[in-house]
Structure 1
Amino acid sequence: MKILLIGEYSRLHNSLKEGLTKLGHEVYILGTGDGFKNYEIDYNIAPRLTIKNKFFINGVSAFRKLTGIDLHKVEMAVNFKRRLPKLKGFDHIQLINSDALQTYPDYQIKFYDKLIQNNKQISLLICGDETPIVDYNLSGKLKYSVLTPFLEDKSLRKYFKYSLKYTTKSYRRLFEYVSGISNVLITSDLDYELPMRKMGYTTTFIPNPINTDKLKYTEPVIEGKIIIFLGINRLSYLKKGTVYFEEALKIIREKYTDKVEIIVTENIPYAEYIKLYESTHILLDQVYGYDQGYNALEAMAKGKVVFTGAETEFIAHYNLKEAVAINAVPDAKQIVEQLSYLIENPEKIIEISKNARSFIEREHSYIKIAEQYLKAWGLK
């Protein structure tokens, strides 16, 4: 089968491609590489002229203020339109988001309409913000979500403009159009499955694919200091609750000066990011999740003890009897207690590390997950 995956924000589509390729399919990824993360893609539609050309760099912001037109979005539309004539004959196309092309909604509807005319079918993967997800998170019915900081302080609106755009008329129309032409709506973890079901949508839940062949497990060796890693992404700083980790680390640094080493990075490419946490024992991911995101899962595959979403809903869904990650919540004091326990009981780090790898192999193996996608798409 010939398959096109549109969009890449976390390496999810790359791992899915690797699984599908192992199963004998021809797979291509179209996207932007997601800025500084620089993910691998086959067809690049990232804006270059409006980002790298000095003349345009100086004028893009002023032009947007003057006219309301974002030239980055216009350039991405132009780049995709150039690719469009060659995007034919695919047995399946999957969008990583209704806004997968990252240009104006009206443009995207026209482009998707052309894609469905020239290819057999389209599906929508829900693995981040979407209109129903944002609507439900804004309702405040969950004990917490990535929008909790905004609900608690509306002055933070400008930091949540990416999420809130899905509540506008044009993006609602875009989601309705894409969900209408999709042969299946797929959710990647419980943070999206639970809200979609609550909002009345029929979805197919497929866990994130993790390349367990490429990501080798290394059992933690604790001979000297315990190494704790925090990778900060400023774009998702508030949504991940990074401030709680920073507050906890200040206390841990003073409390265990001779027992820990703390590594903090900010906005680095994906390849560099995974190299930097290679030697660490504990990775701090996010506090507002119910399930693990992609970075957490990859770290778990490599044997790290990850502070992330591992709520009761997650434990119940997978019927877990042992800890595979640490459930981090928006409470610095609790995070300090959890870190302290691991520092004082290093054998637990080794135990959770082994549990994490076993869980990833059992529930997230990229080849097994690729087979589930083929079945959901109706290609198997």
Structure 2
Amino acid sequence: MNILIVGEFSGFSKNLKVGLNELGHKVSIMSTGDNFKKIKIDESDINILKYYTKRLNNKYLNFIFRIIIVYLNRVRLKLFLKKNYDIIFLLNAGFIVPGIFSIKAGLPLKWLKKFIIKGTPLFLSACGLSPALVKHAKELKYGFAYNKYESLYNDKDIRQFESICELCKKIIPMDYENEYSLKKYNSYSYINKVVRPILLPYDVSNTRYTYYETDKIIITHGINRYDAKGSKYILEAMHKIKNKYPESVDLFIPEHLPYEDYLACLDKTNIFIDQCLGYGMGVNASIGLAMGKIVLGGCEEENNKSIGIDAVPVINIEPNVDQIYNELEKLILLPSEARFKISLSSREFAEKYIDSKIIAKKYEQIFIDNK
């Protein structure tokens, strides 16, 4: 199949493409490279330019610059989208823009509808924020984390989101929160479209196992979306454990690094903290497991049931400094052999459940069954 993936989140598209290519499909990605992460593309992909309103100080030059960016994006996209696609996979409805002259970087809704009229099926991933998640996730355990997004979507955004949900064949959530929210959204209108959540893919086959210990245990937490990941609680717990065990612990806290630079920094990490405000694993957890790190993050029973896997080797943490600290202390006080064993279970899980080809097979089956 010839597949177009629209959007990028922390290497999700990049890693899914690896698996789909291995299965014999041709895949093109259309994205901004996930902004500062600057995720690399190949010749079959297109990086659309993103306009920033404060790019230039002169307002007249700024306006001209905006027009140029909009024009270049439209010309390049029109050429890129001349191909015929068997499947369009949209990572988030936010990657669709309302009009062809929108300053927002994305695929115009009008162009998407043209593909659908021609018979190209659309599939939607439920990852990242959406009107459904903002509305219903606050009914869940970590709902308070979504309060700040209540005014994020206006009526036009909500109508567009619902229009895209109507147009798509299936909606594929990445975790329990998205599954729950989408099934409840709009009076259960999309309940029959929402399939079982699928874990985020990672190219495990081409990732080295890199767990080793030196004189200090290195604890890492990458800062990107500070509030969304509960970094406030995580960082306080990390500094608390460092203060108690200064001779045994080092902290590594990378912030807003490009994707490839970020991955290169992680080799020496022993304990990798994803986030503490979710039911399941984020991208960082997948990366950590693939590298054989000891991973702390979301691992609630509801999410494990939702994805259909009982034994997930992620240590569940909550937005509670003492709880996170206690989990870190338990790990630090273990003999190194015990930590090494946890590390091996991380890698084994990644090979069995999140490798790009394994995840791609699940998407392939959904695409084939619902064309």
TM range (shorter): 0.7 to 0.9
Change (3 A) 1:198 1:363: farther
Equivalent residues in 2 for 1:206-225, closer than 5 Å: 206-218=198-210, 220-225=211-216
Matches of 2:360 and 2:244 in 1, distance apart?
45
Deviations 1:27-48 (A, max 9, x none): 1101100111011231111236
Q: Is the 8 A contact 1:311 1:327 kept in 2?
A: yes
TM-score by length of 2: 0.86
- The residue that corresponds to 2:217 in the other structure is 226
Which residue in the other structure is 1:154 paired with?
none
Equivalent position of 1:252 in the other structure = 241
The one-character-per-residue Cα deviations of 1:43-82 (angstroms, maximum 9, x if unpaired) are 111236x57xx9x522469989xxxxxx869945861454
TM-score by length of 1: 0.84
Contact 2:145 2:277 in 1 (8 A): no
Counterparts of 1:358 and 1:109, CA distance in 2 = 42
User: 8 Å contact 1:324–1:353 — kept in the other structure?
Assistant: no
Q: Residue 356 of structure 1: CA displacement?
A: 1.7
Residues 218-254 of structure 1: per-residue CA shift (max 9 Å, x gap): 3x33341111112111xx1111100001111221111
Residues 123 and 183, structure 1, Cα contact 8 Å, conserved in 2: yes
**Residue 84 of structure 1: aligned partner:** 78
Q: Which amino acid aligns with 2:301?
A: T
The question of whether the paired residues in 2 share the 8 Å contact of 1:217 and 1:301 is answered with: yes
Mean Cα displacement is larger for which, 171-180 or 107-116?
A: 107-116
Could you tell me which residue of structure 2 aligns to residue 302 of structure 1?
Answer: 291
Give the aligned residue type for 2:357. I
- What is the aligned-residue RMSD (CA, Å)? 2.9
Q: Could you tell me which residue of structure 2 aligns to residue 57 of structure 1?
A: 56
Shift of 1:86: 3.9
Q: Structure 1 vs Structure 2: percent identity of aligned residues?
A: 31
1:192 equivalent in structure 2: 178
Q: CA-to-partner distance for each residue in 1:330-375, whole Å, 9 max, x for gaps?
A: 0001111110110001444222222222222222222122122122
1:165 matches 2:152 = yes
Distance 1:292 1:110 in 2: 34
User: Contact 2:171/2:195 (CA < 8 Å) preserved in 1?
Assistant: yes
For 2:318 and 2:20, how far apart are their aligned partners in 1?
Answer: 35
SS at match of 2:219: strand
One of 137, 140, 143 as aligned partner of 1:142: 140
CA distance in 2, matches of 1:330, 1:109: 38
Which stretch shows the higher mean deviation, 187-196 or 24-33? 187-196
Q: Within 1, Cα distance between the matches of 2:172 and 2:60?
A: 36
Q: Do the aligned partners of residues 73 and 214 (structure 1) sit closer, same or farther apart at CA in structure 2, a change above 3 Å counting?
A: farther
Relative to structure 1, the CA distance from residue 45 to residue 244 in structure 2 (aligned partners, 3 Å threshold; closer, same or farther) is same
Aligned residue for 2:105?
Answer: none
The runs of 5 or more residues in structure 1 that have no matched partner are 65-70, 152-156
Q: Which residue of 2 aligns with 1:47?
A: 50
Cross-structure match for 1:94: 89
SS of the equivalent of 2:123 reads: strand
Match of 1:179 in 2: 165
Work out whether residues 77 and 101 of structure 1, in 8 Å CA contact, stay in contact via their aligned partners in 2: no
> Per-residue deviation at 1:104?
6.2
Is the alpha carbon distance of 1:320 and 1:179 closer, same or farther for their aligned partners in structure 2, counting shifts above 3 Å?
A: closer
Report if the CA contact (8 A) 1:5-1:96 is conserved. yes
The one of 349, 360, 363 equivalent to 1:359 is 349
Distance in 1, matches of 2:357 and 2:156, equals: 37
3-state DSSP of counterpart to 2:170: strand
Structure 2: which 5+ runs fail to align?
103-107
